[in-house]
Chains A and B, each alone.
Chain A
Amino acid sequence: MTKEHIVKAYDEELAELDQMVSDMVAAVREQISQSVVNISKYEKGGLQKSIDFDETIDDMQVDIDNHATRMLALRQPVAADLRKIVVSFRISNDLERIGDYAKNVAKRLDVLVDMDLPEEAGFSITRMGRMVNRMLDDALKAYLNGDKQLALDVIEADENVDHAHTAFFREVMTYMMEDAKYITACTHFMFITKNIERMGDHVTNMAEQVYYVVTGEHIKEGRVNKDKSINVSAEL
């Protein structure tokens, strides 16, 4: 739907909604970069920064919800406009949750920074963080361009995050078996990657919502979570 509305202010408000979602995605990606992607550069005290930034993200969610509520009340949107506005509530909610997970990661990093760590573990976490950030970027592009295929690609990409989480689960187990001094740190790592895996799930939700905006159809529930870490066992 490229044609403009007869009422220009309506178009401006829809454009503003897009901008707000874009800004929130950018903020969440920044939050993930600070804690997850740049884990090797993490410095003590980063947690406070993360907490402050999380508040900003929470405010963005409220702003999106208020803007969307106002449009529902004043514009009586229908069809694709209606779907976009309704979905913006859910997308902002998913983004807010992702921000929370990133903050949770920072909490653990603030503890980990004083510990002896298996060096390679950081690389896997960085890689997972990059995966999620790329998914977020693609989900936003799909949202802005009404790109149904890209939304489906994002959903598929989440499998990679799930697989990476399973693989990392095995990896940290070997560190723990090699040297018991890593047990505390590795337990934190497990929570961190679980958080990242959950971020991927929320980006997937966002992509599913984008698919609905574009097509008017819901993707059937029952997407298989490829996180197999539950099946991993250590053989001593």
Chain B
Amino acid sequence: MTVTEKKTADQQAPAEEPKIVATNVKVSYGGRDALHGIDLEIVARKVTALIGPSGCGKTTFLRCINRMNDLIPVAEVTGSITLDGNNIYAPEVDVEVLRRHVGMVFQKPNPFPKSIYDNVAYGPRIHGLASNKQELDKIVEKSLRRAGLWDEVSDRLEAPGTGLSGGQQQRLCIARAIAIEPAVILMDEPCSALDPIATAKIEELIHELKERYTIVIVTHSMQQAARVSDYTAFFHLGDLVEKGETEALFTNPKDERTEAYISGRIG
């Protein structure tokens, strides 16, 4: 009798070219370690979900990818993260330019207190991506369409973004993020403040967006990770415990801690 050599999660290393490569990334806040040396490759134009209990370091890791931790004075980041082979922590890197390529969507929708149009046009304006009004109009429409919001707001582009529903606001934030044509979109629990229908719309949108963008999503919902992601990485107490194809990780996890967490045995 032979046993089929079904690959376990860890062995199914992404075959595709990695967009982002994190090597031995360590983060400490005021001397307290939050991440203990993370090695992770993020595949281009795929969705990678970061899961784990609260305080496991998943959001800390996400924030390293566009150097958001730079904003915290006590945070110290070591190791390397490359985007298309270039170290984003190299001294010559302009963080503003980096963040143009690595957009972010937050837990709570945070539209600017401006019109729907201006919310989306803001990024292209400050980065000088449009040379005239027509071009800017095009970018705004394209971004809202890609974010699945155009049909709902096209007749009231001058209305304030903050007047939209929560789910619409979150899609507006996604439109704002993609208006500057980033390569990577980071999402930090983008659906945690939304109802199930709005959540489903965002999840469908994530599925469509991955054709163009590399997406990294932090989520507390394991079902959401299972639904939307191609790859999943499980963080626990500052360590990357297991990473692999989502399907393998959810049907046959290799590490006991992963199994315990995803099946609801440890929180």
Contact = CB atoms under 8 A, between A and B. Distances in A.
Interface string B234-266: 000000000000000011110010111011111
A219 interface: yes
Given A1-B259, A78-B251, A79-B251, A223 B1 contact: yes
B6 A217 contact: yes
A6 B260 CA distance: 10
A230 B197 CA distance: 61
Q: Tell me the interface secondary structure of chain A in the complex.
A: loop
Contacts of B222: 78
Contacts of A223: 1
A45 interface: no
B126 interface: no
Nearest to A1: B259
Contacts of B260: 1, 3
Contact of B263 (A79, A152, A217, A219): A79
Interface in B171-230: 222-223, 226
B132 interface: no
B131 interface: no
Contact of A220 (B1, B8, B226, B263): B1
Which of B259, B262, B264 has most chain A Cβ within 10 Å?
A: B264
A103 B259 CA distance: 42
A216 interface: yes
Contacts of A216: 6, 8, 251-252
A203 to B, nearest CB: 16
A155 B265 contact: no
Interface in A113-160: 152, 155
A222 B219 CA distance: 42
Interface in A1-57: 1, 3-7, 10
B4 A217 contact: yes
Contacts of A77: 263
A79 B255 CA distance: 11
Given A76-B223, A79-B262, A217-B3, A6 B267 contact: yes
A10 B264 contact: yes
B263 A1 contact: yes
B6 A78 contact: no
B2 interface: yes
Contact of A5 (B4, B6, B265): B265
Contact of B251 (A3, A83, A220): A83
B223 to A, nearest CB: 6
The 4 closest A-B pairs by CB, nearest first: A216-B252, A3-B265, A78-B250, A78-B262
Given A152-B1, A220-B2, 20 more contacts: A1-B259, A1-B260, A1-B263, A1-B265, A3-B265, A3-B266, A4-B265, A6-B267, A7-B264, A78-B250, A78-B262, A79-B263, A81-B263, A82-B251, A155-B1, A217-B6, A218-B4, A218-B6, A219-B2, A220-B4
Interface of B: 1-4, 6, 8, 222-223, 226, 250-253, 256, 258-260, 262-267
12 contacts: A1-B259, A1-B260, A4-B265, A5-B263, A5-B265, A76-B223, A79-B251, A79-B262, A79-B263, A82-B250, A215-B3, A217-B6
